[in-house]
Structure 1
Amino acid sequence: MSLRTRPHPFTRAEHPVATEFGIVTAALVGVYLWRELVGELLPTVFGSPPVPGGLLVAGLVNGGVLLAGLAVFVGAYAALRGIDIGLRLPTAADLPVAALAMLTPVLLVALTKLAGLATGVPYGSLTKTSVAADAPVLPVLSVAALGLVLGVPALVLVCQVLVQGSFTAVVDADAAVALTTLMTGFVMVSSTGRLATVPDPGRLVGAVVLALSLAVALYASDRIDRDRLRYLGYVPVLVFGAIVVLSGVVAIESVAGGLYAATQLAVLGVAAYAYDRSGSILVPALAYAGLLLANRIVVVVFEAGIRGW
């Protein structure tokens, strides 16, 4: 058995997608660590909010610092990698894809709500959010506005610039859209099932494990000349993929829950498609804003006072 069937080791030129996956995963780890740093430092510097109203101010400060640092990090990453961020206004030719980006989340949320009505599943039980029936209007609107102002830019920076921009450098546009949808669908969905502004830590650990397993498998494929041993290198990757698929299926408890999960993935896919077709970060932002607004409207307008979890 030869252990050196090729004169060179695993390189980016040989496996560009796998290498790019590792680079993107490392960058996402950096995003997560920045969020953790902000969460640790700001309370130490400013202390805890002394009054209930201070929670909103604290959220604005915390989110603002997080978003500013994220913009600097992603901007530097894009400059280093030669990624076009897309800081341009959409044109008239982009109106169809902009309409698609705006309408898709609204229609899917409405469909999920209808399925929930038919099967007795409150929409708030899916989003893990609720609003009291007598809740003051101003705080509710303020929280919704804060989520839009901070959440939408963060999602665009991470999903489109960092992830999609990276994959676009090594594959064609359609493949980059598919890879972006799959990767962000895995790491950017929180434990509550909603889109997260930064990678979910548990999913991020999974992405790191997958990147390492894939690297080992490809390295073994390149360096070992016996088919049986080469194939064994792919076993961890296949097992990981099976676990992810099965755990996702098991987590779906209802038709509405399945539609809700599909909505998150669909919005990520539409955002990636819209970014590719328009070249503007404003168009995918419409998809994320539409989803956040639709979620909030359903819970506040149609389910105030209901808590289903």
Structure 2
Amino acid sequence: MSTSTSEGTPPKNPTPIAVEFGVVAAILAGLYMWNRIVRETTTALLGDASAGGFLVNGLVTGGLLVAGLVGFAAAYVSARDVEVGRSLPSRADLPLVAAAVLVPAALVGLTKLVGTLTGVHYNALTRTAVAADPALRPILVVTGLGLAVSVPVLVVVCQVLVQGSFDRVVGRNAGVGLTTLVAGVALLGATGGLDAVPDRGKLFATILLAAGLGVAVYGHERLERDRFRYLAYVPTAVVAALVVFSVVAEIGSVAGGLFVVTQLAVFAVAAYTYDRTESLLVPAAAYLSLLVANRLVVVGLEAGMQSW
């Protein structure tokens, strides 16, 4: 990014990083609560979407979610002076744009190939399925509605709020890495693909990581003996180990492992290409490529299957 902080070296003092991690965790908690409020309010006013009116319910719910998030993001970046990449990609950025589009699709294709060779259906990983000989129009409507909500939310959360926050206190590479870490913990699961909004378990893990990092920094600054300083990092290490273990425990196959790697790689590609191009359109292309590729595999190659 173009801020002086992000272009410099990371601060030696870990306290700003811990504080920013806590801010990011609070933002994700607010997103979780906003999503619940929107859904419960929409259900109360319009009824359950499963009982009919799916399109209206989805449009209202998705529209309120995105509008509220964008409004908060606008106020947040103004209050904290966060840089936002609003420019269009330049001609020199075309290789990065191509990578953002092609890498997710290629990884989805590789995962599908490995799944075919090892007997694992792709829809078992995404937890989505369609009927045999599905009608195209409903699929396009549902897919389009999902993309219209998921892509903007992912971009605003991951790049504007999370990456923008970290870029204020760390160098470029660290900002990309921390963004990938937080997105991987909060928005990635072993099955189901990317979540635009963290579920309760992932949010809890993110908050525990933030709290553990705060304890570690406090102990590092307050404790005099090195052996006790190292002990202060134990909570963070335990939470990180539990997160990794929970993901690994759910994988169950080589294709499942590739599926998780694909989602994490897309977060990394989105963060890296955004940092280099300073354009929100490039990470949006990465998320769009992944979500569309997931849907094409399930609809085009596995219609009529439900493997979970």
Is the TM value for this pair above 0.5? yes
In structure 2, distance between residues paired with 1:200 and 1:279:
29
After TM superposition, give the deviation of residue 255 of structure 1 in Å: 0.9
Query: Do the aligned partners of residues 14 and 308 (structure 1) sit closer, same or farther apart at CA in structure 2, a change above 3 Å counting?
Result: closer
Q: Structure 1: give runs of 5+ residues left out of the alignment.
A: 1-11
Answer whether contact 1:90 1:278 (CA < 8 A) is retained. yes
After TM superposition, give the deviation of residue 307 of structure 1 in Å: 0.8
In structure 1, distance between residues paired with 2:227 and 2:183:
33
1:31 corresponding residue in structure 2:
31
Please tell me whether residue 206 in structure 1 is matched to residue 205 in structure 2.
yes
In structure 2, distance between residues paired with 1:50 and 1:99:
39
Amino acid at match of 2:115: G
Amino acid at match of 1:308: S
Please tell me whether residue 45 in structure 1 is matched to residue 37 in structure 2.
no
In structure 2, distance between residues paired with 1:96 and 1:189:
26
1:6 corresponding residue in structure 2:
none
Q: What are the equivalent positions in structure 2 for 1:124-139 lying under 5 Å apart?
A: 124-139=123-138
In structure 2, distance between residues paired with 1:69 and 1:130:
30
1:81 corresponding residue in structure 2:
80
After TM superposition, give the deviation of residue 75 of structure 1 in Å: 1.5
In structure 1, distance between residues paired with 2:43 and 2:158:
28
Cα deviation digits, residues 284-307 of structure 1 (max 9, x gap): 100000001000000001000011
In structure 1, distance between residues paired with 2:230 and 2:93:
46
1:304 corresponding residue in structure 2:
303
Q: Which secondary structure state, in structure 1, belongs to the residue aligned with residue 145 of structure 2?
A: helix
In structure 2, distance between residues paired with 1:260 and 1:13:
36
Identity over aligned pairs, percent: 53
Answer whether contact 2:111 2:259 (CA < 8 A) is retained. yes
Please tell me whether residue 98 in structure 1 is matched to residue 78 in structure 2.
no
Cα deviation digits, residues 233-279 of structure 1 (max 9, x gap): 22211211222222222222111101100000000100001100110
Q: What are the equivalent positions in structure 2 for 1:75-224 lying under 5 Å apart?
A: 75-190=74-189, 192-224=191-223
Query: Do the aligned partners of residues 18 and 43 (structure 1) sit closer, same or farther apart at CA in structure 2, a change above 3 Å counting?
Result: same
Query: Do the aligned partners of residues 240 and 128 (structure 1) sit closer, same or farther apart at CA in structure 2, a change above 3 Å counting?
Result: same
Stretch moving more, 289-298 or 197-206 = 197-206
Amino acid at match of 2:99: L
In structure 2, distance between residues paired with 1:88 and 1:170:
23
After TM superposition, give the deviation of residue 14 of structure 1 in Å: 5.5
1:284 corresponding residue in structure 2:
283
In structure 2, distance between residues paired with 1:86 and 1:287:
16
1:22 corresponding residue in structure 2:
22
In structure 2, distance between residues paired with 1:191 and 1:254:
11
Cα RMSD for the two superposed structures: 1.7
Q: Structure 2: give runs of 5+ residues left out of the alignment.
A: 1-11
In structure 2, distance between residues paired with 1:297 and 1:145:
13
Cα deviation digits, residues 102-128 of structure 1 (max 9, x gap): 001110000000001101111000000
After TM superposition, give the deviation of residue 59 of structure 1 in Å: 0.8
Please tell me whether residue 55 in structure 1 is matched to residue 54 in structure 2.
yes
Q: Which secondary structure state, in structure 2, belongs to the residue aligned with residue 175 of structure 1?
A: helix
2:251 corresponding residue in structure 1:
252
Give the TM-score normalised by the residue count of structure 2: 0.92
After TM superposition, give the deviation of residue 160 of structure 1 in Å: 0.4
Please tell me whether residue 274 in structure 1 is matched to residue 273 in structure 2.
yes
Answer whether contact 1:190 1:200 (CA < 8 A) is retained. no
Give the TM-score normalised by the residue count of structure 1: 0.92
Q: Which secondary structure state, in structure 1, belongs to the residue aligned with residue 224 of structure 2?
A: coil
After TM superposition, give the deviation of residue 229 of structure 1 in Å: 2.9
In structure 1, distance between residues paired with 2:216 and 2:184:
23
Answer whether contact 1:38 1:62 (CA < 8 A) is retained. yes
